[in-house]
A and B are shown apart, each in its own frame.
Chain A
Amino acid sequence: MLRDPAFRSSLVTFLAFAVFIVPTTFVISLGAALLVARTRVMQSFFRSVFFLPTACSYVVAALVWKMSIFSGIRSGLANAVLGWFGADSIPWLSLADPPWYWLVIVTARLWLQVGFYMILFLAGIQRISPTLYEAAAIDGAEGWKVFRHITLPQLRATSTAVLLLLLINAFQAFDEFYNILSTFGTYPPYARPPLVYLYYTALGSGQDFGHGSAGAVILTLIIAIVAVVQGRILRLGDRGD
């Protein structure tokens, strides 16, 4: 299985995707949580609006992204916006070079999951005792310093949980990839994470259960190793976490 170049490239896709999507979602949802926590007006409105996409199905969102926002014709939302600036239409999902399809996949996933992690961070932020901030204010700390020395350390437990959940989610990449990039019975040879590749190998018309299960075992090993390493780095399960 490891000699199969298609499977190796799927592993690379999957690691690159995780390396990109985990920190990006982390930063954006933390930022959104800080902003929402700070607003005085309509806080519950913003909270609900950001959280709402979480309720949407990955499949539905993928199809909206594919057929309406990023369709290749002039009337697609993204191309209509480009049109205002006089730019040519871009067939977002058809081009392999430059790889615009990543923009489609990543924005779909961010839209779907940022709200959920924002709520987790918001809960964490609201648990931080106001006395800490008062003490910091008396000491003259403000802005970035407060965030760096009070908010972030106090959010450590939440951050660990969020990172772990994000990583698991990234490794489960299937729904939006499959629904955005698959065409009638085929899937392009790029942006093909292992679950999509194995789906076609074992469950699709290939029905090659031998290679399918071998791939699944390799995948499990990788996830287990990453989980153990992450646990070590973040000291999961230490006292006080």
Chain B
Amino acid sequence: MIFNTHNKAIKVNEVKTIPPSLALNSTTHWLLLVSQLINFSLIMAQLTSWMLALIALCLLWQSAILAGLFKRPVSGVLFIIAILGCIALAISSQTLGLLLTMVHLLAFAYVLKTLELKKRGDFYQLILIGLFLNASAMIFDQSLAFASLLIFAILVNVSVLFSFFLLHENNLQDYSFPLKGAAKLLLQSIPLTIILFIVFPRLAPFWQVPLAKSAKTGLSEQIAPGDIAQLIKSSDLVFRVSFSNNTPAFNQLYWRALVLENYDGKQWSRLSERSVEDVLANLELNPINYQATQGESTVYQVIAEPSYQHWLYALPVAQVTQAQIVMLPDYTLLTKQPITQTMSYTVGSYLQTPMDLSLNEGKKARNLALPEQVNPKLRAKAQTLRAQYHNDEAIIQQVLNDIRQKSFSYTLKPPPLINNSLDQFYFETRAGFCVHYASSFTFLMRAAGIPARVVTGYMGGEYNRNGNYYSIYQYDAHAWSEVWLAGKGWVRVDPTAAVSPERVEQGFSSALFQQQAALNTDIFNLQNYRHIAWLNFFRQQLDALDYQWTRWVIGYNNKRQLDLLNRWFGHFSLWKLATIMALAIASILLWLWLTNRSQKIKPNYPLWQKNYLTALSLLADKGVQKVPQQSFDEFAEQVMKYLPKVGVSFKKLSQTYKKLHYQALSAEEKQPLLAKHRQYFKQFKRQIKTIKK
């Protein structure tokens, strides 16, 4: 190529053939590995240990390839691994359930695909699978902390893709460059994301999807003395409540969840072991008639954490309007779908309204039933009481006085009972917590001929000053009794209040918290350090943040959207929504356009420079354009040749410009030159106006 005389300034770029084979530069490759590590760590909690081991092995293999220790595997080997993995998955799919099997499959594909990146399409697929894995991780966890991790994960994923289009031949070793670029893209995309989130119509689910299956947490449908101890160990959040009006006193916060009416001598359980579907079908056949509500309602929003159960929490008598929630005859609430993700519902509670003023015979008999031959001592005591007092309320008072005065104690670590004997508790050990007291009390009542039942739920809650809401944790789990009194209906009696009044007045005492913390083995739980003031403050701040996130982002639904749009834009209509969206998108586009344009360097020229540039553009209008290679003098000559009318004045203008531009002049020297320059410019402008094209 002797004749190809290249310009020296031009550097030779690499020549590629189409279609290019996929050759990831090492920056992209390492970033890809990092992004995979992050993606897997987010979904880790859902994966079985053998899958995690497999993934770890593949990632190690990949990094060994990257470091140059191994070669890429042949596709036959990968095929065998894929088949074996799928067989293993098929075998374990029974225990995993459909959703988790899918997640496993996705994770498996994600890690295998990396070992076989041949074409550009493979790389793109890998990125999309990675994003999908992130999305599926959100099915299982939606807390603010997790969401922040996800934002970071998505940033890294996008930067992998971004780095692919950078630095083809320039080995910029700096990993921060693609990260910065991706971060900029992310930030610019956020406004539109928010607008879409707020205004884009929310649709009902299109079809049934496999739900996340997990161990049920929280209260169970049966309870025996000693059972709640498991819950009390836990500091997990159960639900949060914010009152909009009439916040009740702390000792009124008895969150009912389950009503247990069956007693078999050992444990209390729900009415019968019917499934939720049966309960719902039964409800449709026999709709319940509630008492007319009395007084003003207390309105509050509950945001429940996933429990994988159907039971909801409310103060009696609760009224809800959400379609997926039903009210049961025992005044508890039930969702048609188990709570698999954070769920929010609004309740209006009529605290003054009595429950069941009249009780039919069947119900009465059920709430008086006791198995023969259990707890004979308690039964005898009940009969004595009944002989002593005719008044039901007097008997209740007498039992409560008994508990208060005799040496009963409230403890989270009670001595074990043989065969769940209530006799043993009431007459021998006399140490226990809510379930012991509620069981014994209810037993006594039934034995004395007063309809009674055990109610489980949560009591109290931690008030968060920053967010003005109550957090209810698992250790707030509580059991109490309800007795039926003629003319009053079901009345709540909490025998625990008799033995430990502070438990129901202020919640856990510090002594109880120490007991609780000793039972809790999770050292990372900030709940265990609530005695350290600043740490407690910090924990509450974080919790308030998480609450707002849950309330506004996780809890944002169709109804809230409608409320918000009505409030902002008046009556809702589809064309209004369309207009808002169109306007929003247009303004964001404009904003992006402007920010991108302003990237260009726009130096702040002094006037003399601006004048020269104006002159250039005026000349360009007349058809004489300066090419970058031309010198000032050459161009002036050209102007002289084609536009002789302005030739002289432009030449002078050009010369003064050159002097101002290139000569180091003192201020005194500059002044006359500037004046001249201005004068020439005026002259030039006057002359050029006279030229017709």
Partners in one complex: no
* Residues of chain B at the chain A interface (Cβ within 8 Å): none
